[in-house]
Chains A and B, each alone.
Chain A
Protein backbone atom coordinates (compact mmCIF):
# COMPACT_ATOMS: atom_id res chain seq x y z
CA UNK A 1 0.00 0.00 0.00
CA UNK A 2 1.13 3.55 -0.75
CA UNK A 3 -0.11 6.30 1.53
CA UNK A 4 0.72 10.03 1.45
CA UNK A 5 -0.57 12.20 4.32
CA UNK A 6 -0.20 16.00 4.04
CA UNK A 7 3.12 15.54 2.26
CA UNK A 8 5.18 18.58 1.37
CA UNK A 9 8.54 18.56 -0.29
CA UNK A 10 10.71 21.62 -0.73
CA UNK A 11 14.12 21.71 -2.34
CA UNK A 12 17.03 23.82 -1.10
CA UNK A 13 16.72 26.13 -4.09
CA UNK A 14 13.35 27.24 -2.72
CA UNK A 15 11.14 25.16 -5.01
CA UNK A 16 8.04 23.69 -3.38
CA UNK A 17 7.53 20.49 -5.36
CA UNK A 18 4.67 19.12 -3.27
CA UNK A 19 2.18 21.08 -1.15
CA UNK A 20 0.13 18.91 1.17
CA UNK A 21 -0.41 15.84 -1.00
CA UNK A 22 -2.87 13.24 0.29
CA UNK A 23 -3.42 9.97 -1.54
CA UNK A 24 -3.79 6.31 -0.84
CA UNK A 25 -3.26 3.45 -3.27
CA UNK A 26 -4.46 0.11 -1.96
CA UNK A 27 -2.72 -3.21 -2.50
CA UNK A 28 -3.57 -4.63 -5.91
CA UNK A 29 -4.93 -1.34 -7.23
CA UNK A 30 -4.12 0.16 -10.68
CA UNK A 31 -3.74 3.94 -10.80
CA UNK A 32 -2.50 6.53 -13.26
CA UNK A 33 -0.58 9.55 -12.00
CA UNK A 34 -0.91 12.40 -14.48
CA UNK A 35 0.12 16.01 -14.63
CA UNK A 36 2.17 18.48 -16.69
CA UNK A 37 5.96 18.70 -16.52
CA UNK A 38 7.15 20.13 -13.22
CA UNK A 39 3.89 19.30 -11.47
CA UNK A 40 5.55 17.05 -8.86
CA UNK A 41 5.15 13.56 -10.39
CA UNK A 42 8.86 12.75 -10.30
CA UNK A 43 9.07 13.93 -6.69
CA UNK A 44 6.27 11.51 -5.79
CA UNK A 45 8.17 8.63 -7.44
CA UNK A 46 11.39 9.58 -5.67
CA UNK A 47 9.57 9.69 -2.35
CA UNK A 48 8.09 6.23 -2.98
CA UNK A 49 11.48 4.71 -3.88
CA UNK A 50 13.26 6.32 -0.93
CA UNK A 51 15.46 8.60 -3.03
CA UNK A 52 14.01 11.59 -1.17
CA UNK A 53 12.50 12.20 2.24
CA UNK A 54 9.43 14.40 2.68
CA UNK A 55 9.92 17.87 4.15
CA UNK A 56 6.77 17.32 6.21
CA UNK A 57 3.92 14.85 6.37
CA UNK A 58 4.14 11.06 6.26
CA UNK A 59 4.73 8.58 3.43
CA UNK A 60 4.07 4.86 3.96
CA UNK A 61 5.09 2.37 1.28
CA UNK A 62 4.61 -1.37 1.75
CA UNK A 63 5.10 -1.15 5.50
CA UNK A 64 8.00 1.33 5.49
CA UNK A 65 7.67 4.86 6.88
CA UNK A 66 9.69 6.92 4.45
CA UNK A 67 9.99 10.01 6.61
CA UNK A 68 12.08 8.09 9.14
CA UNK A 69 13.54 5.24 7.08
CA UNK A 70 17.20 4.43 7.78
CA UNK A 71 19.66 4.44 4.92
CA UNK A 72 20.41 0.74 5.30
CA UNK A 73 16.67 -0.10 5.07
CA UNK A 74 16.23 1.62 1.69
CA UNK A 75 17.48 -1.38 -0.39
CA UNK A 76 14.87 -3.57 1.33
CA UNK A 77 12.12 -1.03 0.59
CA UNK A 78 13.21 -0.98 -3.05
CA UNK A 79 12.86 -4.76 -3.27
CA UNK A 80 9.14 -4.24 -2.69
CA UNK A 81 8.86 -1.62 -5.44
CA UNK A 82 9.77 -2.40 -9.04
CA UNK A 83 10.46 0.64 -11.21
CA UNK A 84 10.12 0.92 -15.00
CA UNK A 85 11.53 3.97 -16.75
CA UNK A 86 10.78 5.67 -20.05
CA UNK A 87 14.42 5.18 -21.18
CA UNK A 88 14.42 1.50 -20.09
CA UNK A 89 17.80 1.76 -18.27
CA UNK A 90 19.03 -1.64 -19.35
CA UNK A 91 22.62 -2.86 -19.07
CA UNK A 92 23.81 -2.90 -22.65
CA UNK A 93 26.59 -5.42 -22.25
CA UNK A 94 24.38 -8.04 -20.59
CA UNK A 95 22.02 -10.36 -22.42
CA UNK A 96 18.25 -10.26 -21.94
CA UNK A 97 18.54 -13.20 -19.53
CA UNK A 98 21.39 -11.59 -17.59
CA UNK A 99 19.62 -8.22 -17.33
CA UNK A 100 16.82 -9.97 -15.47
CA UNK A 101 19.03 -12.41 -13.55
CA UNK A 102 21.20 -9.46 -12.47
CA UNK A 103 18.25 -7.98 -10.56
CA UNK A 104 17.76 -11.27 -8.72
CA UNK A 105 21.46 -11.62 -7.93
CA UNK A 106 21.48 -8.06 -6.62
CA UNK A 107 19.05 -9.10 -3.89
CA UNK A 108 20.98 -12.27 -3.04
CA UNK A 109 18.82 -14.90 -4.79
CA UNK A 110 20.19 -18.44 -5.08
CA UNK A 111 21.43 -19.69 -8.45
CA UNK A 112 18.67 -22.30 -8.58
CA UNK A 113 15.96 -19.70 -7.89
CA UNK A 114 17.38 -17.56 -10.69
CA UNK A 115 17.41 -20.47 -13.13
CA UNK A 116 13.77 -21.24 -12.33
CA UNK A 117 12.36 -17.72 -12.15
CA UNK A 118 14.02 -15.83 -15.03
CA UNK A 119 12.62 -18.03 -17.86
CA UNK A 120 9.16 -17.80 -16.28
CA UNK A 121 9.28 -13.99 -16.17
CA UNK A 122 10.66 -13.76 -19.71
CA UNK A 123 7.79 -15.90 -20.88
CA UNK A 124 5.34 -13.68 -19.02
CA UNK A 125 6.54 -10.60 -20.92
CA UNK A 126 6.90 -12.47 -24.24
CA UNK A 127 10.69 -12.47 -24.49
CA UNK A 128 11.33 -16.18 -23.93
CA UNK A 129 12.81 -16.57 -27.41
CA UNK A 130 15.18 -13.62 -27.07
CA UNK A 131 16.95 -14.47 -23.85
CA UNK A 132 20.40 -14.56 -25.51
CA UNK A 133 20.01 -11.24 -27.31
CA UNK A 134 21.46 -7.97 -26.10
CA UNK A 135 19.26 -4.89 -25.50
CA UNK A 136 20.51 -3.16 -28.66
CA UNK A 137 19.17 -6.08 -30.70
CA UNK A 138 15.63 -5.51 -29.41
CA UNK A 139 12.92 -3.11 -30.57
CA UNK A 140 11.77 -0.28 -28.28
CA UNK A 141 8.73 -2.25 -27.19
CA UNK A 142 10.83 -5.32 -26.45
CA UNK A 143 13.30 -3.26 -24.45
CA UNK A 144 10.44 -1.93 -22.35
CA UNK A 145 9.16 -5.49 -21.87
CA UNK A 146 12.62 -6.42 -20.66
CA UNK A 147 12.61 -3.47 -18.24
CA UNK A 148 9.22 -4.65 -16.96
CA UNK A 149 10.57 -8.21 -16.57
CA UNK A 150 13.46 -6.86 -14.52
CA UNK A 151 11.11 -4.82 -12.34
CA UNK A 152 8.89 -7.85 -11.86
CA UNK A 153 11.42 -10.61 -11.28
CA UNK A 154 11.89 -10.05 -7.56
CA UNK A 155 8.13 -10.29 -7.10
CA UNK A 156 7.60 -6.74 -5.78
CA UNK A 157 4.20 -5.90 -4.36
CA UNK A 158 4.20 -2.60 -6.28
CA UNK A 159 5.37 -1.49 -9.70
CA UNK A 160 5.93 2.17 -10.55
CA UNK A 161 6.07 2.80 -14.29
CA UNK A 162 7.45 6.25 -15.09
CA UNK A 163 6.27 7.23 -18.60
CA UNK A 164 6.66 3.59 -19.76
CA UNK A 165 5.29 4.34 -23.22
CA UNK A 166 7.02 7.69 -23.76
CA UNK A 167 9.48 6.24 -26.31
CA UNK A 168 7.06 3.91 -28.09
CA UNK A 169 4.65 4.14 -31.00
CA UNK A 170 0.89 3.90 -30.26
CA UNK A 171 0.62 0.18 -31.06
CA UNK A 172 3.59 -0.72 -28.82
CA UNK A 173 2.27 1.63 -26.13
CA UNK A 174 -1.00 -0.24 -26.06
CA UNK A 175 0.84 -3.57 -25.81
CA UNK A 176 2.90 -2.35 -22.86
CA UNK A 177 -0.13 -0.94 -21.07
CA UNK A 178 -1.96 -4.24 -21.61
CA UNK A 179 1.03 -6.08 -20.17
CA UNK A 180 1.02 -3.82 -17.11
CA UNK A 181 -2.69 -4.49 -16.69
CA UNK A 182 -2.09 -8.26 -16.89
CA UNK A 183 0.57 -7.96 -14.20
CA UNK A 184 -1.86 -5.95 -12.09
CA UNK A 185 -4.44 -8.70 -12.56
CA UNK A 186 -1.95 -11.08 -10.95
CA UNK A 187 -2.12 -8.92 -7.81
CA UNK A 188 0.71 -6.39 -8.17
CA UNK A 189 -0.14 -2.79 -7.26
CA UNK A 190 0.48 -0.60 -10.32
CA UNK A 191 1.15 3.14 -10.44
CA UNK A 192 1.67 4.41 -13.98
CA UNK A 193 2.94 7.94 -14.54
CA UNK A 194 2.00 9.16 -17.99
CA UNK A 195 1.26 12.14 -20.22
CA UNK A 196 -0.81 10.12 -22.66
CA UNK A 197 -4.42 11.06 -22.13
CA UNK A 198 -5.67 8.64 -24.82
CA UNK A 199 -4.21 5.65 -23.02
CA UNK A 200 -5.51 6.79 -19.65
CA UNK A 201 -9.00 7.26 -21.00
CA UNK A 202 -8.90 3.96 -22.89
CA UNK A 203 -8.08 1.94 -19.79
CA UNK A 204 -10.64 3.67 -17.58
CA UNK A 205 -8.73 3.21 -14.33
CA UNK A 206 -8.26 5.45 -11.32
CA UNK A 207 -6.55 8.74 -12.20
CA UNK A 208 -4.68 10.94 -9.74
CA UNK A 209 -3.94 14.29 -11.37
CA UNK A 210 -1.39 16.64 -9.89
CA UNK A 211 -0.57 20.22 -10.73
CA UNK A 212 1.92 22.57 -9.05
CA UNK A 213 2.41 20.10 -6.22
CA UNK A 214 -1.28 19.71 -5.37
CA UNK A 215 -3.62 16.79 -6.15
CA UNK A 216 -6.29 18.40 -8.32
CA UNK A 217 -8.24 15.31 -9.30
CA UNK A 218 -8.60 11.78 -7.95
CA UNK A 219 -11.28 9.77 -9.67
CA UNK A 220 -12.10 6.31 -10.92
CA UNK A 221 -13.55 7.12 -14.32
CA UNK A 222 -10.41 7.50 -16.40
CA UNK A 223 -11.18 11.16 -17.20
CA UNK A 224 -9.37 14.09 -15.73
CA UNK A 225 -8.69 17.76 -16.15
CA UNK A 226 -5.46 19.44 -15.04
Chain B
Protein backbone atom coordinates (compact mmCIF):
# COMPACT_ATOMS: atom_id res chain seq x y z
CA UNK B 1 0.00 0.00 0.00
CA UNK B 2 2.68 2.47 1.05
CA UNK B 3 4.90 1.39 -1.84
CA UNK B 4 2.00 1.86 -4.22
CA UNK B 5 1.29 5.27 -2.74
CA UNK B 6 4.84 6.51 -3.20
CA UNK B 7 4.94 5.07 -6.70
CA UNK B 8 1.84 7.12 -7.45
CA UNK B 9 3.50 10.21 -5.98
CA UNK B 10 6.62 9.63 -8.06
CA UNK B 11 4.43 9.45 -11.14
CA UNK B 12 2.98 12.84 -10.19
CA UNK B 13 6.45 14.35 -9.92
CA UNK B 14 7.57 12.87 -13.25
CA UNK B 15 4.36 14.09 -14.88
CA UNK B 16 4.93 17.57 -13.49
CA UNK B 17 8.55 17.58 -14.69
CA UNK B 18 7.47 16.64 -18.21
CA UNK B 19 4.87 19.42 -18.27
CA UNK B 20 7.34 21.98 -16.93
CA UNK B 21 10.09 21.17 -19.44
CA UNK B 22 7.78 20.55 -22.42
CA UNK B 23 5.93 23.84 -22.05
CA UNK B 24 8.67 25.97 -23.75
CA UNK B 25 8.07 23.91 -26.92
CA UNK B 26 4.58 25.38 -27.13
CA UNK B 27 5.06 28.97 -26.04
CA UNK B 28 7.60 31.59 -27.07
CA UNK B 29 5.92 34.88 -26.29
CA UNK B 30 7.62 36.75 -23.36
CA UNK B 31 4.20 37.49 -21.86
CA UNK B 32 3.38 33.79 -21.71
CA UNK B 33 6.74 33.01 -20.12
CA UNK B 34 6.16 35.70 -17.57
CA UNK B 35 2.72 34.30 -16.76
CA UNK B 36 4.08 30.75 -16.54
CA UNK B 37 6.90 31.87 -14.21
CA UNK B 38 4.44 33.68 -11.99
CA UNK B 39 2.18 30.62 -11.85
CA UNK B 40 5.09 28.32 -10.99
CA UNK B 41 6.18 30.54 -8.07
CA UNK B 42 2.65 30.95 -6.71
CA UNK B 43 2.04 27.22 -7.16
CA UNK B 44 5.11 26.60 -4.99
CA UNK B 45 3.56 28.63 -2.19
CA UNK B 46 0.26 26.78 -2.67
CA UNK B 47 2.03 23.40 -2.37
CA UNK B 48 3.31 24.58 1.02
CA UNK B 49 -0.11 25.83 2.10
CA UNK B 50 -1.59 22.48 1.09
CA UNK B 51 0.61 20.76 3.69
CA UNK B 52 -1.17 22.80 6.34
CA UNK B 53 -4.70 22.78 4.88
CA UNK B 54 -4.89 19.53 2.95
CA UNK B 55 -2.83 17.28 5.20
CA UNK B 56 -3.05 18.72 8.70
CA UNK B 57 -6.60 20.02 8.17
CA UNK B 58 -5.87 23.48 9.58
CA UNK B 59 -7.18 26.63 7.90
CA UNK B 60 -5.13 29.71 7.07
CA UNK B 61 -6.83 32.77 5.64
CA UNK B 62 -3.69 34.88 6.10
CA UNK B 63 -1.00 33.03 4.25
CA UNK B 64 -0.27 35.90 1.87
CA UNK B 65 1.11 37.66 4.94
CA UNK B 66 4.08 35.25 5.00
CA UNK B 67 4.46 35.48 1.22
CA UNK B 68 4.53 39.27 1.54
CA UNK B 69 7.00 39.20 4.43
CA UNK B 70 9.42 37.07 2.42
CA UNK B 71 8.98 39.33 -0.61
CA UNK B 72 9.50 42.55 1.32
CA UNK B 73 12.40 41.26 3.42
CA UNK B 74 14.31 40.32 0.29
CA UNK B 75 13.33 43.55 -1.46
CA UNK B 76 14.37 45.75 1.46
CA UNK B 77 17.66 43.97 2.20
CA UNK B 78 18.79 43.88 -1.44
CA UNK B 79 17.77 47.44 -2.32
CA UNK B 80 18.39 49.38 0.93
CA UNK B 81 21.25 47.40 2.46
CA UNK B 82 23.04 46.00 -0.59
CA UNK B 83 22.59 42.34 0.40
CA UNK B 84 22.81 39.67 -2.23
CA UNK B 85 19.53 37.91 -3.10
CA UNK B 86 20.34 34.41 -1.81
CA UNK B 87 21.33 35.38 1.76
CA UNK B 88 18.33 37.74 1.87
CA UNK B 89 16.06 34.89 0.83
CA UNK B 90 17.51 32.48 3.39
CA UNK B 91 17.58 34.91 6.31
CA UNK B 92 14.07 36.04 5.36
CA UNK B 93 12.77 32.48 5.30
CA UNK B 94 14.40 31.84 8.67
CA UNK B 95 12.87 34.98 10.15
CA UNK B 96 9.43 34.19 8.77
CA UNK B 97 9.74 30.67 10.18
CA UNK B 98 10.43 32.11 13.64
CA UNK B 99 7.52 34.54 13.35
CA UNK B 100 5.24 31.71 12.24
CA UNK B 101 6.37 29.60 15.18
CA UNK B 102 5.81 32.39 17.72
CA UNK B 103 2.40 33.27 16.29
CA UNK B 104 1.46 29.68 15.49
CA UNK B 105 1.82 28.28 19.02
CA UNK B 106 -1.13 30.17 20.52
CA UNK B 107 -3.17 30.40 17.30
CA UNK B 108 -3.18 26.72 16.44
CA UNK B 109 -4.92 25.88 19.69
CA UNK B 110 -7.97 27.46 18.09
CA UNK B 111 -10.42 25.41 16.12
CA UNK B 112 -12.40 25.88 12.92
CA UNK B 113 -13.71 29.37 12.36
CA UNK B 114 -11.73 30.84 15.24
CA UNK B 115 -8.54 29.63 13.56
CA UNK B 116 -9.71 31.19 10.27
CA UNK B 117 -10.32 34.43 12.13
CA UNK B 118 -6.94 34.44 13.85
CA UNK B 119 -4.93 33.65 10.70
CA UNK B 120 -6.93 36.28 8.84
CA UNK B 121 -6.02 38.78 11.56
CA UNK B 122 -2.31 37.92 11.38
CA UNK B 123 -2.33 38.39 7.59
CA UNK B 124 -4.13 41.71 7.94
CA UNK B 125 -1.71 43.03 10.54
CA UNK B 126 1.28 42.18 8.31
CA UNK B 127 -0.35 43.87 5.30
CA UNK B 128 -1.20 46.98 7.35
CA UNK B 129 2.40 47.27 8.58
CA UNK B 130 3.76 46.93 5.03
CA UNK B 131 1.28 49.58 3.89
CA UNK B 132 2.24 52.08 6.56
CA UNK B 133 6.01 51.80 7.04
CA UNK B 134 6.54 54.03 4.02
CA UNK B 135 10.25 54.75 4.55
CA UNK B 136 11.08 51.07 4.32
CA UNK B 137 8.42 49.67 2.01
CA UNK B 138 7.34 52.62 -0.12
CA UNK B 139 3.84 52.32 1.34
CA UNK B 140 0.81 51.54 -0.82
CA UNK B 141 2.71 52.60 -3.97
CA UNK B 142 5.11 49.69 -3.58
CA UNK B 143 8.85 49.52 -4.17
CA UNK B 144 11.26 48.39 -6.91
CA UNK B 145 13.24 45.18 -6.34
CA UNK B 146 16.74 44.53 -7.77
CA UNK B 147 17.26 41.53 -10.05
CA UNK B 148 17.94 38.11 -8.53
CA UNK B 149 21.71 37.60 -8.25
CA UNK B 150 23.91 34.62 -7.48
CA UNK B 151 27.58 35.40 -6.70
CA UNK B 152 27.51 38.56 -8.78
CA UNK B 153 25.71 36.87 -11.68
CA UNK B 154 22.28 38.36 -12.34
CA UNK B 155 19.10 36.64 -13.48
CA UNK B 156 16.82 39.16 -15.13
CA UNK B 157 13.83 38.58 -17.43
CA UNK B 158 15.41 41.09 -19.81
CA UNK B 159 18.87 39.45 -19.98
CA UNK B 160 20.42 37.01 -22.47
CA UNK B 161 22.07 33.81 -21.24
CA UNK B 162 23.69 30.73 -22.64
CA UNK B 163 23.05 27.30 -21.18
CA UNK B 164 24.89 24.21 -22.47
CA UNK B 165 25.87 26.21 -25.53
CA UNK B 166 22.29 27.30 -26.27
CA UNK B 167 21.29 30.95 -26.26
CA UNK B 168 18.25 31.52 -24.12
CA UNK B 169 16.33 34.66 -23.32
CA UNK B 170 15.94 35.98 -19.78
CA UNK B 171 12.23 35.12 -19.79
CA UNK B 172 12.93 31.51 -20.60
CA UNK B 173 15.79 31.35 -18.08
CA UNK B 174 13.53 32.66 -15.31
CA UNK B 175 10.79 30.25 -16.32
CA UNK B 176 13.15 27.25 -16.19
CA UNK B 177 14.50 28.42 -12.84
CA UNK B 178 10.97 28.81 -11.41
CA UNK B 179 10.00 25.43 -12.86
CA UNK B 180 12.94 23.73 -11.14
CA UNK B 181 12.11 25.51 -7.87
CA UNK B 182 8.53 24.22 -8.12
CA UNK B 183 9.75 20.67 -8.76
CA UNK B 184 12.02 20.84 -5.72
CA UNK B 185 9.15 22.25 -3.66
CA UNK B 186 6.91 19.36 -4.71
CA UNK B 187 9.64 16.77 -4.09
CA UNK B 188 10.27 18.11 -0.58
CA UNK B 189 6.55 18.21 0.17
CA UNK B 190 6.06 14.62 -0.99
CA UNK B 191 8.95 13.42 1.11
CA UNK B 192 7.45 15.14 4.10
CA UNK B 193 4.05 13.59 3.44
CA UNK B 194 5.54 10.08 3.26
CA UNK B 195 7.59 10.56 6.42
CA UNK B 196 6.44 9.82 9.97
CA UNK B 197 5.70 13.54 10.29
CA UNK B 198 3.30 13.27 7.36
CA UNK B 199 1.51 10.35 8.95
CA UNK B 200 1.22 12.23 12.23
CA UNK B 201 -0.24 15.18 10.35
CA UNK B 202 -2.83 13.06 8.62
CA UNK B 203 -3.84 11.58 11.96
CA UNK B 204 -4.36 15.14 13.23
CA UNK B 205 -6.57 15.78 10.22
CA UNK B 206 -8.58 12.61 10.80
CA UNK B 207 -9.29 13.33 14.45
CA UNK B 208 -7.18 15.50 16.66
CA UNK B 209 -8.45 13.91 19.85
CA UNK B 210 -7.82 10.39 18.58
CA UNK B 211 -4.33 11.42 17.43
CA UNK B 212 -3.43 12.79 20.84
CA UNK B 213 -4.86 9.70 22.55
CA UNK B 214 -2.48 7.45 20.60
CA UNK B 215 0.40 9.68 21.62
CA UNK B 216 0.81 12.13 18.74
CA UNK B 217 1.97 15.50 20.07
CA UNK B 218 -0.63 17.38 18.02
CA UNK B 219 0.46 20.88 19.10
CA UNK B 220 4.04 20.20 18.06
CA UNK B 221 3.13 18.81 14.65
CA UNK B 222 0.60 21.52 13.91
CA UNK B 223 3.17 24.24 14.75
CA UNK B 224 5.79 22.45 12.69
CA UNK B 225 3.66 22.27 9.57
CA UNK B 226 2.52 25.86 10.08
CA UNK B 227 6.18 26.93 10.13
CA UNK B 228 7.02 24.81 7.07
CA UNK B 229 4.14 26.23 5.07
CA UNK B 230 5.09 29.78 6.10
CA UNK B 231 8.69 29.16 5.00
CA UNK B 232 7.44 27.88 1.63
CA UNK B 233 5.42 31.08 1.24
CA UNK B 234 8.36 33.26 2.29
CA UNK B 235 10.81 31.68 -0.19
CA UNK B 236 8.33 31.86 -3.04
CA UNK B 237 7.47 35.44 -2.09
CA UNK B 238 11.14 36.45 -2.21
CA UNK B 239 11.61 34.86 -5.65
CA UNK B 240 8.37 36.41 -6.84
CA UNK B 241 9.57 39.87 -5.75
CA UNK B 242 12.87 39.53 -7.64
CA UNK B 243 11.11 38.18 -10.69
CA UNK B 244 8.49 40.93 -10.81
CA UNK B 245 11.03 43.67 -10.09
CA UNK B 246 8.35 45.66 -8.29
CA UNK B 247 6.03 44.80 -5.41
CA UNK B 248 3.12 46.41 -3.61
CA UNK B 249 1.52 45.44 -0.28
CA UNK B 250 -1.15 43.58 -2.29
CA UNK B 251 1.21 40.55 -2.22
CA UNK B 252 0.49 40.32 1.51
CA UNK B 253 -3.17 41.30 1.26
CA UNK B 254 -6.39 39.57 2.25
CA UNK B 255 -7.49 39.00 -1.33
CA UNK B 256 -4.26 37.22 -2.18
CA UNK B 257 -4.63 35.07 0.96
CA UNK B 258 -8.10 34.11 -0.19
CA UNK B 259 -6.77 33.37 -3.67
CA UNK B 260 -4.10 31.04 -2.23
CA UNK B 261 -6.52 29.01 -0.14
CA UNK B 262 -9.01 28.93 -3.01
CA UNK B 263 -6.30 27.40 -5.21
CA UNK B 264 -5.85 24.65 -2.61
CA UNK B 265 -9.55 23.93 -2.24
CA UNK B 266 -10.45 24.27 -5.92
CA UNK B 267 -7.60 22.07 -7.10
CA UNK B 268 -8.22 19.42 -4.46
CA UNK B 269 -7.10 19.56 -0.85
CA UNK B 270 -4.44 17.01 -0.03
CA UNK B 271 -3.41 16.41 -3.63
CA UNK B 272 -0.08 18.07 -4.48
CA UNK B 273 -0.63 17.94 -8.23
CA UNK B 274 -4.27 18.96 -7.70
CA UNK B 275 -3.41 22.19 -5.90
CA UNK B 276 -0.91 23.08 -8.65
CA UNK B 277 -3.74 22.64 -11.14
CA UNK B 278 -5.80 24.91 -8.88
CA UNK B 279 -3.08 27.56 -9.10
CA UNK B 280 -2.88 27.25 -12.89
CA UNK B 281 -6.66 27.51 -13.31
CA UNK B 282 -7.10 30.47 -10.99
CA UNK B 283 -4.18 32.38 -12.53
CA UNK B 284 -5.30 31.72 -16.11
CA UNK B 285 -9.02 32.30 -15.51
CA UNK B 286 -8.72 36.12 -15.16
CA UNK B 287 -6.66 36.18 -18.39
CA UNK B 288 -9.46 34.38 -20.22
CA UNK B 289 -12.21 36.38 -18.54
CA UNK B 290 -10.50 39.70 -19.28
CA UNK B 291 -12.12 39.50 -22.74
CA UNK B 292 -15.50 39.76 -21.06
CA UNK B 293 -14.46 43.09 -19.51
CA UNK B 294 -17.12 44.32 -17.11
CA UNK B 295 -18.54 40.81 -16.76
CA UNK B 296 -15.21 39.48 -15.49
CA UNK B 297 -16.08 39.66 -11.81
CA UNK B 298 -19.57 38.16 -12.16
CA UNK B 299 -18.23 35.25 -14.21
CA UNK B 300 -15.29 34.63 -11.86
CA UNK B 301 -17.62 34.49 -8.85
CA UNK B 302 -20.07 32.27 -10.67
CA UNK B 303 -17.43 29.80 -11.86
CA UNK B 304 -15.89 29.65 -8.38
CA UNK B 305 -19.27 28.99 -6.78
CA UNK B 306 -20.42 26.38 -9.28
CA UNK B 307 -17.13 24.46 -9.22
CA UNK B 308 -17.17 24.25 -5.45
CA UNK B 309 -20.86 23.29 -5.30
CA UNK B 310 -20.57 20.53 -7.86
CA UNK B 311 -17.00 19.43 -7.08
CA UNK B 312 -16.69 19.97 -3.33
CA UNK B 313 -13.58 17.75 -3.24
CA UNK B 314 -11.83 19.86 -5.86
CA UNK B 315 -11.01 19.47 -9.54
CA UNK B 316 -8.40 16.71 -9.58
CA UNK B 317 -9.93 14.33 -6.99
CA UNK B 318 -13.35 14.66 -8.64
CA UNK B 319 -12.02 13.91 -12.11
CA UNK B 320 -9.83 11.07 -10.81
CA UNK B 321 -12.82 9.60 -8.99
CA UNK B 322 -14.96 9.86 -12.08
CA UNK B 323 -12.34 8.09 -14.22
CA UNK B 324 -11.83 5.36 -11.63
CA UNK B 325 -15.57 4.74 -11.46
CA UNK B 326 -15.85 4.49 -15.22
CA UNK B 327 -12.92 2.12 -15.38
CA UNK B 328 -14.36 -0.19 -12.73
CA UNK B 329 -17.75 -0.04 -14.43
CA UNK B 330 -16.37 -1.06 -17.82
CA UNK B 331 -14.25 -3.76 -16.16
CA UNK B 332 -17.42 -5.03 -14.46
CA UNK B 333 -19.18 -5.04 -17.84
CA UNK B 334 -16.49 -7.16 -19.43
CA UNK B 335 -16.53 -9.82 -16.77
A interacts with B:
no
* Chain B residues with a Cβ under 8 A of chain A: none
* Chain A residues with a Cβ under 8 A of chain B: none
